[in-house]
Structures are given as C-alpha cells and as structure tokens.
Chains A and B, each alone.
Chain A
C-alpha cells in the first residue's frame, strides 16, 4: 500500500498547479475523486490484502480480498451495519457513503479502490445522542417507514446541504433522485431535508 501524503501538498494539488503552467491551456476542472498517490505497481491478491481504511476519522486495519466491495467491508468486516445493501447494483443508493465528502454507492466501490481517501458512513454523521441536523429532522418529520433506505437518504441529503445550504425542493429531489424508497415516503424526506436546511444543517 502506498504511503500517506504528509507534506501538506497533495499530489492532486501539485498536478493541478503544474498543469496550469502548460502554455496556452487552462485546466477547467480537476477530478474530485482522483487522488494520485504513488501505488505499488505489483499486483495484490487474490487472497486477503492488508489495508488501512480511514473511516469516520479513524484508521482501521483490515485484511480484504480484492473482490470485496466497500459496502461488504463496512458491514461484514468492520460491523458498521448502518450502511444498507439492498439492490447491490447502484440502483437504489441505500448503500450511500461519502468518499472524501462525495456521495457514492459503496456497493459499486471496490474496497481497494478507496486508497487514502476518507470514508464517511451514517455512523460518522451523528450518534443517537448527538444527531446530525438531517438525522434529527428525519426523526422529527417521521421520514422513515421500513427504514432500509433511510441511511442512504440521510447521507445524500446531508451531502447536498454541505454544498448547498439553501436548497430548493427541486434541489432536494435531484440530490435523492438515485435513492429508492419502496414505502414511498419521499414527501416526508423532502420536508425533513428542507427543515434541516432551515435550521442550518
């Protein structure tokens, strides 16, 4: 596994800076998910591979096969079962976690692909005693029925409010457009999201 960047200047920032110096060109957009580290060029696996995952602010050492998804590593190895696996194909987003703050489907993420990036799960958002404002709003507005979609809905909503503190109803609908709720509790999810925004989530 690659070593951590401790020099205060990430490789990505370096690349972004150096690309700007190319004559006559302007970098318009740099990858949000791509962290160019210095990986080994040797193949690992197919058996268990020791890795360190940074989850909810803490490093976790674990041993995983390359075929393991992030969702399965979180649930089965680390017992962080707040992240739900429903469709296992990216169609329902119940498994939504953040990687470096960006909502993604953990069922479609190979755990080895996480690298040095930081994972945030529903457990890292808040606790029963200190709920995140979005979690509190979901409770207040009764925005859960069977509850399977709820962690994903909360992660998608909280990610939206991070980048857009004053969303419209349409913004909320767009942000959770990948999150399926078979109970159909969408109106309460929208109400909870807008209420959390009003309270400054």
Chain B
C-alpha cells in the first residue's frame, strides 16, 4: 500500500517550484513515481503534479534547433515527423522504451530523471550505498544487468534511453529554479557515483527540468539508435547505443554505466575516417576499451561491440 500523501495540481512552473521543499516530489507522467511509491522507496508529504502546467508538452523547431517540453511523451517523440527525420536516434530511443501504453504517458523529462532500475536499489530490503547504506550489493551479487564501465563504487546502469540519444545529439537541458533558469549541457547533467553516489543528476530538489534543446544538426548529419534486450517489449536494454555521424560524431552507450557513457575512442575514429565496415569495426572495438565487467556481465562486451558496429553502419545508411 502506498503511504498517504497530499496532491497538488501546479498551475505554473514557479507555482510548482514554490512547492518543492524537500518533502515533496514532482510527478510528470508518474510512471517511475508510481513504482517508487508502490515499492515503498519514497514517502513524500506532497506530490506536485506538473501535468497541469500549460505549455510544457510541445515540440518546437526553429533556426537554432529542436526545443522539447519536459512533458512531451515518448510516444510524441516516436511519432513526430521532424524528430524522426532529423533527430532519428531520439525518435528510436523513445519508441523502443517500455510498452505502447507506457509511452502514451511517460514523459521525456521523467525518462531522464527516473531513478535507477537496479534490483537492489528498487528493493526496499536492500539498504544499498545509493540509499544511504554502506555497500553496493551488485559488486558481489547478481550483476548480470549491471554496469561494465565506471562501476567500482555503485554498479547501476543509467535507466534513461532518451538520455543516450540526447547526449549523442549534443542536447542542453534548461533547468528552472527559484532564481531563474540555467542551461546545462547534457554531458554535465549526469552525476557519476564517484562524484555523488546518492544522485544521478545535478537537478536540485527545488528545480524543474523545463526544456530540452538540441542544436540544429549540420547538413548531412545522420543518427541511429539500437537496443538489445531479452525481449522486445517492456524490457530494459542489456545494451543500447546512439550514434551521430557528421561534423561532430557522437557514440553514447546506454545500459553500460551509471551515466550515459560517451565512447570517446569510437568518436575519435569516426571523426577522422570514412565510414565503412572496417572503421565501424575499429570504432566498435575502441568503444569497449577500458571496460571493467563484473562477474556475471562480461557477456555484454561482445553484444555492445556488435550493436555499436551495426548502429554506426545503420546511421551511415540513414
């Protein structure tokens, strides 16, 4: 049973922010919030509903690029013709998450800000490092779905598929607080466990993610996204990757690390070379350099290598 809480329909962004005092929680689509409440992981005094704030659910394109409201649903991103044509990796990342019904409700902001899906973190019985405990149970535990990079302190994988695409596309997040707005490059938005194990992003308790801005891609830029899971629907990826080819190549791995993981070695190879089977293979190999798999998840390495190569080639053909 969910613990009791108060409910507040926010009217404006500032109205919502005024309610954020550390005892309240923001509800966007509510998918992750509902799960956390049902699992007893959170017990807010008040749930602040931001679905009632007008204007946060729109996708807009202008000369500078794409502007996505935080309440845009994954289904909107999947079906939007402009997103699909010019920001393909984002449309495919959104369109392959969860199920059709969840995509009808889940928002891009909520997808980025959801808490990790590590089964130790999600289980009330495990007081893990991330929840204020003194150990990461995944280090010596059941870690087949855990991180293969940056996993020494806490081995969660970052749960957001759209974040993987947004990082590859060079997105910037607009964050609004009591004192106004700030623009945070997506690459600086996510927090590694060695920086602060208790959080996954830099958003303060009294701030809202109010927009996602993607710079207009240079002409000829192409992108692709691929996910591999154990089943097609309602499953988290074992491995996922977003690739952007163009003046500034981007290769970002998801389900790989506690943050969306830029494969800098792969990007370097793609930047200096024509894209073909050989360079794709070399970049895919480079993407996995430095991996530190745990006892049960070294199987992820060849899977990542394969989907990185395939996604590079898919982007080249796009």
Contacts from A to B (Cβ < 8 Å): 2, 11, 15, 19, 24-34, 36-47, 49, 65-67, 69, 88-91, 93, 96, 102-105, 107-110, 112-113, 115, 156, 174-175, 177-178, 180
Contact = CB atoms under 8 A, between A and B. Distances in A.
Interface of B: 1-11, 15, 19, 27, 30-31, 34-35, 37-38, 46-47, 49, 51-63, 69, 71-73, 75-76, 79-83, 98-102, 104-105, 232-234
A198 B60 CA distance: 38
Contacts of B76: 29, 31-32
30 contacts: A19-B58, A27-B60, A28-B60, A29-B59, A31-B57, A32-B104, A33-B105, A34-B56, A39-B9, A41-B8, A43-B8, A45-B7, A46-B4, A46-B5, A47-B4, A67-B5, A89-B35, A90-B34, A90-B102, A96-B101, A103-B101, A105-B102, A107-B34, A108-B105, A110-B7, A112-B49, A113-B27, A115-B9, A178-B101, A178-B102
A90 B101 contact: yes
Given A108-B31, A156-B101, A175-B100, A25 B60 contact: yes
A88 B235 CA distance: 16
Nearest to A39: B9
Contacts of A34: 51, 54, 56-57, 71
Given A90-B98, A104-B105, A113-B51, A30 B8 contact: no
Given A36-B55, A110-B47, A177-B234, 13 more contacts: A19-B58, A28-B58, A33-B73, A36-B53, A37-B52, A46-B6, A90-B35, A90-B99, A90-B102, A108-B31, A113-B30, A156-B100, A178-B100
Given A26-B61, A29-B72, A103-B104, A115 B31 contact: no
A66 B7 contact: yes
B75 to A, nearest CB: 7
A91 B231 CA distance: 12
A135 B9 CA distance: 37
A174 B100 contact: yes
A109 B234 CA distance: 17
B70 to A, nearest CB: 11
Contacts of B53: 36
A105 B233 CA distance: 15
B4 A93 contact: no
Question: Closest 9 CB pairs between A and B?
Answer: A178-B99, A31-B57, A39-B9, A36-B54, A66-B7, A46-B4, A177-B233, A43-B6, A67-B2
Contacts of A49: 7
Contacts of A29: 58-59, 72, 76, 79-80
Contacts of A103: 100-101, 104
B21 to A, nearest CB: 12
A29 B71 CA distance: 12
B88 to A, nearest CB: 15
A115 B7 CA distance: 12
Contacts of B47: 66, 110
Nearest to B35: A89
B8 A93 contact: no
A196 to B, nearest CB: 18
B8 A104 contact: no
B275 to A, nearest CB: 29
Nearest to A89: B35
Q: Which residue among B10, B27, B80, B102 has the maximum number of chain A CB atoms within 10 Å of its CB?
A: B102
A93 B58 contact: no
B102 A108 contact: yes
A44 B11 contact: no
B307 to A, nearest CB: 21
Given A15-B55, A19-B58, A39-B9, A177 B100 contact: yes
Contacts of A178: 98-102, 233-234
B71 A31 contact: yes
A28 B62 contact: no
A27 B102 CA distance: 24
A106 B76 CA distance: 20
Contact of B4 (A38, A65, A105): A65
